[in-house]
Amino acid sequence: MLTVSAICAFNTLAVNPDSTPSPPTANLEQRLVFFTKVGLLRAFEDINASAPDRFPDADAIRQRIAALPDDLQPLFAAGTPESTALLTAAADLRRTILLANPLLDFDLVVARETDKLGLPANFHSNSNLKKIGYKNRIMQFSIHGKVPDRTLFSPEQTRFIGDFCLHFDADRMLFSMPTDKDWQVFEIRLDGTGLRQVSPAIENGVNNYDACYLPNGDFLYTSTLPMVSVPCVAGGAHVANLVRLYADGSVRQLCFDQEHNWNPRVLSNGSILYQRWEYTDTPHANTRLLMTMNPDGTNQRSLYGSNSYWPTAFFYATPVPGSSTRLAGISTGHHTAMGVSGS
């Protein structure tokens, strides 16, 4: 039986389902992406300091890390059975160390598997994306290899799916997907049943997406209901502001901003975290601010000052479980895609 801590939702796991057969080291290249010897040692020492019971043979692991070469590229270039064995040993050691982290004491992960990311530019939102042309699905896999991978949902007509939000009970989730006319918020149970459209279709041209649950059963999501556009793209990007969907089916606009709101999430104190793009009388390249507000839209305020010159944006900010002061997200620059790290 699943518990709340036993499952995690990721927005994107990029793959290439049409790739041609790969050389023997191709999978190792994926397993060892961003590998550095010093980074692995730091990760080990950090986990060992907070959870020493995970490594009763700590000295032996330090010796194994020390025996690794500083640069793996010559081993990839060699392509011999010996070099492949060394690379496999490095990948296995890395996996053993990283999966020993107490923060990963769960097994099942829900993710979007896709052939292309489909992320909007950071002056856009979903309504600027192509609606179809994605080989994507919602899948569940086991990070410890305990159960086989399985598909929870595959959209019709190669439609985009994204913006995942896991329910507090970890038994269902929200996601964004276009219909034949507009973008809408959908919900599905984690056994693959119960697919339903959550956001009401108001009229043609009103798009709804990027949602989160509220503890009382209501929903927050961004909507192009205001019918305004980003000034610098000649009306080509409809602005999405935050709205609340109540149990009786009524919708109330909470934010009245000239520019986009993005990525609402509930903080541990019950307030709402979201990102707002400031534009008027400011250097708008550097003012995608993390904001908080009450669930009814009152008490809107910046989370930290007036941002800074770096990072210029912090997309997909999510509270770290067990902490009231830490957030995880992706810092980006101006005119980059949302979720693509940059400066």
pLDDT at 89: 94
Q: How many angstroms separate the CA atoms of 319 and 327, rounded?
A: 4
Please give the structure tokens belonging to residue 254. 């909470």
CA atoms within 13 A on the CB side of 183: 27
Q: How many angstroms separate the CA atoms of 105 and 179, rounded?
A: 37
Q: What is the largest CA-CA distance in the chain?
A: 65
Report yes or no on 18 lying in a domain.
no
Please give the structure tokens belonging to residue 205. 């041209």
97, 159: one domain: no
Minimal CA–CA distance to 265: which of 321, 226, 306, 224?
Answer: 321
8 — pLDDT class (breaks 50, 70, 90): low
Report yes or no on 327 lying in a domain.
yes
202, 150: one domain: yes
Read off the pLDDT of residues 94-112 as tens digits, 9 standing for 90 and up: 999 999 999 888 889 999 9
Among 79, 104, 129, the domain boundary falls at: 104
Of 279 and 7, the structure prediction assigns the larger pLDDT to 279
55, 130: one domain: no
Report yes or no on 168 lying in a domain.
yes
pLDDT at 264: 97
97, 139: one domain: no
Report yes or no on 2 lying in a domain.
no
pLDDT at 27: 86
DSSP of 115-161, one letter per residue?
A: SS--PPBTT--GGGS-SB----EEEEEETTS-S--EEEE--GGGB--
In the predicted model, is pLDDT for residue 310 greater than 90?
Answer: no
Total domain count, the chain: 2
Torsion, Cα 319 322 323 327, to 10 degrees, reads: -20
Q: How many angstroms separate the CA atoms of 291 and 7, rounded?
A: 27
pLDDT at 6: 41
pLDDT at 10: 55
84, 200: one domain: no
Distances in Å between the Cα of 168 and the Cα atoms of 6, 8, 228 are 12, 11, 33
pLDDT at 19: 39
pLDDT at 103: 84
299, 204: one domain: yes
Read off the pLDDT of residues 11-67 as tens digits, 9 standing for 90 and up: 655 444 343 344 456 688 888 988 999 999 999 999 999 999 999 999 999 999 999
79, 226: one domain: no
Which amino acid, one-letter code, is at 198?
Answer: V
Please give the structure tokens belonging to residue 291. 């904001």
148, 288: one domain: yes
91, 126: one domain: no
177, 292: one domain: yes
59, 208: one domain: no
Report yes or no on 305 lying in a domain.
yes
Report yes or no on 62 lying in a domain.
yes
DSSP state of 67: T
322 — pLDDT class (breaks 50, 70, 90): confident
Q: How many angstroms separate the CA atoms of 40 and 237, rounded?
A: 43
Among 76, 104, 132, the domain boundary falls at: 104
Which residue segment(s) compose the domain that 152 sits in?
116-332
In the predicted model, is pLDDT for residue 341 greater than 70?
Answer: no
Residue with tokens 């957030």: 327
100, 137: one domain: no
Among 58, 81, 104, the domain boundary falls at: 104
Read off the pLDDT of residues 159-180 as tens digits, 9 standing for 90 and up: 999 999 999 999 999 999 999 9
Report yes or no on 19 lying in a domain.
no
CATH code of the domain in which 213 resides = 2.120.10.30
Read off the pLDDT of residues 123-146 as tens digits, 9 standing for 90 and up: 889 999 999 999 999 999 998 888
* pTM of the shown model: 0.84
Average pLDDT over residues 259-281: 92
Report yes or no on 339 lying in a domain.
no
First to last CA, the chain: 43
Q: How many angstroms separate the CA atoms of 268 and 292, rounded?
A: 12
